[in-house]
A and B are shown apart, each in its own frame.
Chain A
Amino acid sequence: MKSGSNLEKVLTAGHFAFTGELGPPRGAHAEEVRKKAAYLKGQVDSVNITDNQTAVVRMASWAACLLLIQEGIEPNFQMVCRDRNRLAMQADILGAYALGIRNILCLSGDHCQFGDHPTAKGVFDIDSMQLIGMVKKMRDEGKFLSGAELDGVPKMFIGAAENPFAEPFEWRVHRLAKKVEAGVDFIQTQCIYNMPKFREFIRQANDMGLTEKAHILAGVTPMKSLGMARYMKTKVPGMDVPDDTIKRLQGVPKDKQGEEGIKIALEQIAEFKEMKGVAGVHLMAIEWEHRVPEIAERAGMLPRPQVG
């Protein structure tokens, strides 16, 4: 075991993993985190805690991770390269590990322009590829990025995101290969709607042997409404929402669109379970945490495996 995290145990034992996501609040209320977390408890193997998602200031990811640990839920600490330099990142990794965090997801981070402080200076001292390598160096070599020895090593299970759809499509699998080479243990993909394209991406990853070197979790976000689908299609960079998805939601009355979105997600999950090279699903139910138990149940994901 590299980290001994629950997520690592589930994946290593060959179970089909199921992870969730929680966005910390825009304020100091711990209750907000606990409330959302309660819906996720027992439903997923690990819960990603976003790090100032969409460049909007929120409660620190590591702090919300600790609240989850208090609630008996395993967190996955998301860390973006936008807000900290290599000193602050390494310091947070050490602190996070010391307080019980065992999973980390290494991300570039959305540009500040999207957020609530659009004129802030993005740091990007290192990029997500280099962050993966830095955490691996700390864990496997017991050294800081500078090469100095660590006194106490953070045994993290190292993850990263990958967008299987963004152009140039042919480069995506090579970028995945770079992340694998940098040292990721698992990948959580961008929300998938274009299934043919994702099948092709996974086929390429299988052919290159990448799915044997890292666990790929397929990203799923159920559409809550036609409006959300249209927004995702036109306004969210790097998102690939096919016309079929839009048409399917258009075909049902407005009050049934959420249910239709869940049905689409369930069909996707059923296919992912059978798809060679896919080791699990990462469910990003954005501001829909309370629907996770129902989705988990209907997707046949329960009960979650207990791996000792």
Chain B
Amino acid sequence: MIVAKRKPFDEIMELLKDHKKVLVVGCGTCVAVCLTGGEKEVAVLAAELDMGRKLANNPVEIGSITLERQCDREYLEKLDGMADQYDALISMACGVGIQFLAERFPNKPVLPAVDTCGLAVNQDVGWYEERCRSCGHCLLGLTGGICPVTMCAKGLYNGPCGGTNKGSCEISMDQPCAWHMIHERLKAQGRLSAIRQIKPAEDWLDTKPRTLIQPGYKKPEKAKA
């Protein structure tokens, strides 16, 4: 899932300081699962903002709503007519949701209340670890199901580097060396030949905005979009 963490309260206060009527918009999918931007966190932020602005002698009127997803038109529709009643919207969705919300209401300031931090696994409640950089060209088949683009601090395709440190990365003893893990897993599977070959320079696909259109589908006509 996509994980995000809430911005520091002072930063959110600064973003909102000139707005008198604000709608806090949560998202019920990824950011709800990672305890950052779901219904509960929306209620907490709304209460904190209400109190913070009162204390700052700059009261604000707060509304709040949590959509099923902010990355889907179907759910954003619920805000049509409602958004107009506010000076600004503050979104607790990931960067994708925030942008789609802003696209839906181009005349409204749409502000972020969270920082999106990656595609992560749910290790335990409240504990998430990044696993994918969505490079667009998956090499997990060669690397024992461990992504060096994400998990190697240098994103090396032919590791490990000389800084690998007894199973840890040179950046920290707490960070496992991706290439050490790759080696150990492939060795256990009898598949070390997968990394004996040189992986040539990558043709990066994530250097410009990407669009996915599945076979059998096409973009709708401009006028209808």
Contact = CB atoms under 8 A, between A and B. Distances in A.
* A and B form one complex: yes
Interface in B156-215: 156-168, 170-171, 180, 183-184, 187, 192, 196, 198-202, 204
A122 B154 contact: yes
A167 B166 contact: yes
Contacts of A124: 154-156
B153 interface: yes
Contacts, number: 91
Interface in A171-194: 171, 174-175, 177-178, 181-182, 190
The contact size tier of chain A is 35 or more
Nearest to A182: B198
B198 A178 contact: yes
Interface of B: 153-168, 170-171, 180, 183-184, 187, 192, 196, 198-202, 204
B170 A238 contact: yes
Contacts of A182: 198
Contact of A108 (B156, B192, B202): B156
Given A181-B198, A237-B164, 12 more contacts: A82-B154, A124-B154, A130-B201, A133-B200, A134-B201, A163-B164, A166-B162, A166-B164, A171-B160, A175-B160, A182-B198, A190-B162
A175 B160 CA distance: 8
B165 A166 contact: yes
A259 interface: no
Contacts of B170: 110-111, 114, 237-238
A130 B158 contact: yes
B162 A127 contact: no
A110 B201 contact: no
B186 to A, nearest CB: 10
B142 to A, nearest CB: 14
Contact of B164 (A109, A110, A167, A174): A167
